Chains A and B, each alone.
Chain A
């Protein structure tokens, strides 16, 4: 069997606020949507940032398609085929939708154009705004742009941080449809989400995080019924 797209072993991350991750291990396979759920501050964002390299790991390993990447610079990891859509979208505000997409592509002009059209097909609403500066987009449109931008390198692994934050239900459906389409094309998706119900409904597997640890893992449907889930959020 081929190695998992992402394999994390005993990952520890520290920053000024203390230890953010205390030895996290998980795997994500191609075609799988793995949801990271848990309250704010549980370490979900930190985990995604550590995988793309924006956060340095203190110990532990991260392997992508079987090769260790934890010492690589972020741009090298992205070049290997990891797409990242951060919390708060972080589109390049002074650039148009087209430029945001083009700048994230590593291919030649023609191939980039082809991928761009593919993205517009997936997110038709972006097509209407193709030459609009991205700061002028609505939150939902920015989220779609961030997702499309993360797909421009045709990644094998997609890291999505809070893709539902601040979106209306209809827009949310579009975004999740995009995520499912990506996974269907043999991409591994790791998704951090506070909106548990939404995330687990779309995911195949789920990992519940609390205080920098994974406290429960399993099939998404099982995790949804797990009493620890509610306890982690509401404390009762």
Chain B
């Protein structure tokens, strides 16, 4: 019972992380640059759903398309001011410019919404539902369903449509894509838009269970980065899987004494099995991966071009 609830919560968290990480990887593939403001897109999504709900008191699942469009527009602006002017400069310039963009976004949100933590409306409702006799939180189940739908939509867009083909071609070889008649600037702006919309969607999914404040972005970008590293830099499926692993670890590790009560009798169990030590362990695992398997847990050994 407890384990099932924990698992559902962990998968829900992982699914939301995955959407944010997918956006991060899309931009990374298309431009070779880190979009550090991707985490702030999550915050923007959370706060926009709070704002939208205050105007239009509806379940978040209804508000979500509006939020995605709004945050997607921010992504397009991000591309125009923080990426395109720097597209011929070293990739680190874009990293810095998106940090600057993050500062702007965070403080604009602070000015607009204030520093107090807010909660977005639930996707449908917050209550427990019985599934095969197990009481599970409806919100978590809804989050999983919506994330799967959004992720599936992304998959269809990338792999079943001409636009998606153009995005992938541009990511794989930008100059060649241009030489074949693809307007790569348009495709890249579109990629930023889509990535931001995915971040916004993640924000809607996260901001009911977790409160949202204007400065949460750094946390989410780090999660996206760790997911991308675990999954193999640039791998879309790997990033989603990495996000899921992170969430499982984050939720299950502090809960170990609940699952196995004998652990709770360990000296300093409260310190060992805390959120903080889970986060620290996560970063140390990340460093170990970078050192030992820079291609990621699931990535193939990077093929070098002859």
Contacts and interface: CB of A to CB of B under 8 A. Distances in A.
Q: Judge A-B direct contact (beta carbons within 8 Å).
A: yes
Interface of A: 52-54, 73-75, 78-79, 84, 86, 90, 92-95, 99, 102-104, 106, 149-150, 153
A79 B184 CA distance: 13
Given A94-B172, A95-B165, A103-B162, A73 B180 contact: no
B169 A75 contact: no
13 contacts: A73-B183, A75-B178, A75-B181, A75-B184, A78-B178, A78-B180, A92-B168, A94-B172, A102-B162, A103-B162, A103-B180, A103-B182, A104-B180
A74 B165 contact: no
A90 B166 CA distance: 15
Interface in B148-190: 162, 165-166, 168-169, 172-173, 175-184
B178 A95 contact: no
B106 to A, nearest CB: 35
Contacts of B183: 73, 75
Contacts of B176: 86, 90, 92
Contact of A93 (B162, B165, B172, B177): B172
Interface magnitude class on chain B: 10 to 19
Contacts of B169: 92, 95, 103
Contact of A92 (B172, B178, B181, B184): B172
Contacts of A54: 175, 178-179
A95 B160 CA distance: 12
A93 B182 CA distance: 17
Given A90-B173, A92-B172, A78 B162 contact: no
A96 B182 CA distance: 18
A132 to B, nearest CB: 15
Report whether over half of chain B's contact residues are helix, strand or loop; otherwise say mixed. Answer: helix
A106 B178 contact: no
A54 to B, nearest CB: 6
Contacts of B165: 95, 99, 102-103
A92 B179 contact: no
Given A78-B179, A78-B181, A103-B182, 7 more contacts: A75-B179, A84-B180, A90-B173, A93-B172, A94-B172, A95-B169, A150-B180
Contacts of A150: 180
A95 B181 CA distance: 17
A220 to B, nearest CB: 26
A90 B175 CA distance: 10
Nearest to A86: B176
A73 B175 CA distance: 11
Contacts of B162: 102-103
A142 B175 CA distance: 18
Nearest to A153: B181
Contacts of A53: 178-179
A12 to B, nearest CB: 21
Contacts of B172: 92-95
A75 B182 contact: yes
Contacts of A95: 165, 168-169, 172
